[in-house]
Amino acid sequence: MPAFLRLVCMVFPRTRYGSMLRAFLFPTTLAWLIVLSGTVTTAIAQTARQPLVHDFRPASETPAFRLAQAPDRPIEVAQPPILLNQPSVTPQVDRLERLENLPPGLRVPQPSEAVQKTYNEFVQGTIDPENTLTIIEGRPRILVFKETPIRIYLPDDRIATYQVISDREISLVGVRRGTTVLNIWVADPTQPNGQRILSYLIRVLPDVETAQQLSATYVNLSNEINQAFPNSYVELQFVGNQLMVRGQAKDSIEAVQILQVVAANAPGTSSRPQLQDGEIVLRNQTVATVTDNVIQQQIESLSQELRDANIVNLLQIPGDQQVMLKVTVAEVNRSAARSIGMDFSVANNAGTVFQQTTAGILSGGLTSSANAGNIMASLDGGQVDIAIRALRQLDLAKSLAEPTLTTLNGQTASFSAGGQFPVPSAIITNGGSAQGVQFIPFGVQLNFTPNIVDRDRIRLVVNATVSSRDENLGTNVGGSSSAGGTSVSGLQSNDFSTTVELREGQTLAVAGLIQHNFGSNAQRIPFWGDLPIIGNTGGLNQTSADEQELVVLITPQLVHPIDACTGPALPGDDMHEPNDIEFFLLNRLEGRHTKGYRSPVRTDHHRQHVGNHCDECQFLIGPTGRAFNCCDQPILYK
């Protein structure tokens, strides 16, 4: 081929027409060469695939031109096996034998003559089945003997069992499909005191006729179930010895009731339906109504019952099977306290002349006490001390907790948000006791179990606790704080446990509290403290009022996962680091127009004008594409 190309270049020089001819001849020649090479290759391949044919006829009958000479002696041609579809076992065994370093259990023993002779010295012979006995699964077959058998041996009672009816009759019952061996020792009439062994190969076959009848009767049962449960569709199919339940159920409760009816009339149980003239006769039964506190227990117990009854549950419940529960716990505490009173003391150089300390405001001069006054005065060079307590105290507290939790239908979900605080405790050991620490949780703890009883009706079992630390409810452990004791705070908690039922998206107040407490206290001198206006100088009057409002709201939602491109905005998406101008000059802690600003790398003034860094959310590509803003939808992530 290179010589031909050089010849073409010499004949057609580098002119306008020569270039055109060369451009035409080069691809044409190359195409013809490829076709010729493919034809030659195909011919060679066909020649290589043709088998060698030997003609065994005499030389006088052969044609003048022969492709092959007959051999001197005939070649033995192996006959094809009769059972062409049967797999060959010998090549596999030979292949295993040729493998090196096989474990002893995988090797096929090849006993030598010496080994066989040794075994024959101890083993008189082997007994193999000589006759076949076929029985139907679940149908007994009786063997009647002419003489009383000596003994009976049935190795595998999982395939078949026998029962002795009399000394000359036994009943064989097939348990399940398979094969086993039945050996019977009987007296040999030809030899005195001799025995003969009757060995049967027991074959247990399925009851095809009964299976066909059951298949037809379960069609009638499925029709009855569809009439009893019009909102569901059930199809029963008898496959082998198992019953398959297909279709759709309205909800989980109706699915449990349908499976209970099927399990009560399933094959292989004591409640198996009886056949009368091709129709099914159901036993008397009561389908219990599934209440809110036994749904999960009945489902768990029904699973074992279905396995025992050879039932395959393929029922489907349409719709979303994930429930999101939003719990709102709102609490407002208001308290007001008022107090008014006065203590005074009159003294001279000799000491105290007169004092009034009924209110406990003034004790030992101007020393403060528990009810210390908020207005203190000292007159006449310290000879007259006055302590007045006129105070109004207002307290307001608002608490709002909104935990949200998602779980599957029928599954329990738990949520905890808060912390733990240590409490001293005693640990009892064999040698005595030791001091330990126990951590008490506080915050929000939520447990709930949803059950979808209709397409959009949800039954909820909710347990929730909302607690917070309260120093006013605390105490000292091991003495006062000054004596080395430990101050332990108290715990103020609100918890509830309830079971409710509501539609999807509906809100229900499952718990609430409105509490109003009022109290008053007076410490006064008789008659003097009872006088109007001036009576406050002879004691201390106190009043307190507390108001508490608490409400717990729950809202269930049937949810499903969202697409990757419709992800919601994350907390903190609108928070950015301020740049130097916003932080130092504008006194801002959050940036407004500086998305992507990073102060650790903004050390070069020139780099600040290059631009923001790459946004990972816009360029990170995964198995499902970008996580945010990957399609023509409203932008949720900014």
pLDDT digits (tens, 9 = 90+) for 293-320: 445 555 556 666 777 778 888 888 887 7
Please check whether residue 81 lies inside any domain of the structure.
no
**Are 554 and 583 in the same domain?**
no
Identify which has the larger pLDDT, 617 or 594. Answer: 594
**Are 504 and 442 in the same domain?**
yes
**Are 529 and 410 in the same domain?**
yes
Q: How confident is the model at residue 84 (pLDDT cuts 50, 70, 90)?
A: very low
Structure tokens at 482: 């000054």
CA distance 315 to 248: 5
Q: Residue type at 370? A: A
- pLDDT at residue 265, rounded to an integer: 78
Domain end among 162, 184, 205: 205
Q: Which domain holds residue 237?
A: 210-318
Number of H helices, E strands in the chain: 9, 23
- pLDDT at residue 369, rounded to an integer: 46
**Are 509 and 381 in the same domain?**
yes
Please check whether residue 174 lies inside any domain of the structure.
yes
- For residues 344 and 371, the answer to whether their CB atoms sit within 8 Å is no
Please check whether residue 230 lies inside any domain of the structure.
yes
- For residues 546 and 515, the answer to whether their CB atoms sit within 8 Å is yes
- pLDDT at residue 423, rounded to an integer: 84
- Kindly tell me if the per-residue pLDDT of 443 is higher than 70: yes
Q: How confident is the model at residue 98 (pLDDT cuts 50, 70, 90)?
A: low
**Are 451 and 545 in the same domain?**
yes
**Are 216 and 298 in the same domain?**
yes
Phi and psi for 211 in degrees, rounded to 5? -65, -40
Please check whether residue 581 lies inside any domain of the structure.
yes
**Are 411 and 543 in the same domain?**
yes
**Are 283 and 272 in the same domain?**
yes
- pLDDT at residue 99, rounded to an integer: 53
Please check whether residue 283 lies inside any domain of the structure.
yes
Task: Measure CA 531 to chain center.
Answer: 75
- pLDDT at residue 53, rounded to an integer: 34
Identify which has the larger pLDDT, 308 or 23. Answer: 308
Identify which has the larger pLDDT, 78 or 541. Answer: 541
- Kindly tell me if the per-residue pLDDT of 61 is higher than 80: no
Three-state DSSP class for 495?
Answer: strand
Helix (H) or strand (E) holding 217: helix 208-228
- Count structural domains, the chain: 5
For the ranges 201-210, 484-493, 577-586, the lowest mean pLDDT is seen at 484-493
**Are 180 and 232 in the same domain?**
no
CA distance 336 to 25: 109
- Kindly tell me if the per-residue pLDDT of 331 is higher than 70: yes
CA distance 148 to 167: 6
The total of other beta-carbon atoms located within 10 Å of residue 347's CB is 16
Helix (H) or strand (E) holding 260: helix 252-264
**Are 219 and 254 in the same domain?**
yes
- pLDDT at residue 606, rounded to an integer: 58
- pLDDT at residue 45, rounded to an integer: 44
CA distance 590 to 359: 53
Please check whether residue 60 lies inside any domain of the structure.
no
- pLDDT at residue 77, rounded to an integer: 40
**Are 295 and 363 in the same domain?**
no
**Are 280 and 335 in the same domain?**
no
Pairing of strands 274-276, 178-187: unpaired
Three-state DSSP class for 119?
Answer: helix
Domain end among 177, 205, 233: 205
Direct distance between the N- and C-terminal alpha carbons of the chain, in angstroms, rounded to an integer: 67
CA distance 347 to 368: 18
Please check whether residue 105 lies inside any domain of the structure.
no
Domain end among 318, 338, 365: 318
Q: How confident is the model at residue 272 (pLDDT cuts 50, 70, 90)?
A: very low
- Kindly tell me if the per-residue pLDDT of 630 is higher than 70: no
CA distance 235 to 243: 10
Please check whether residue 178 lies inside any domain of the structure.
yes
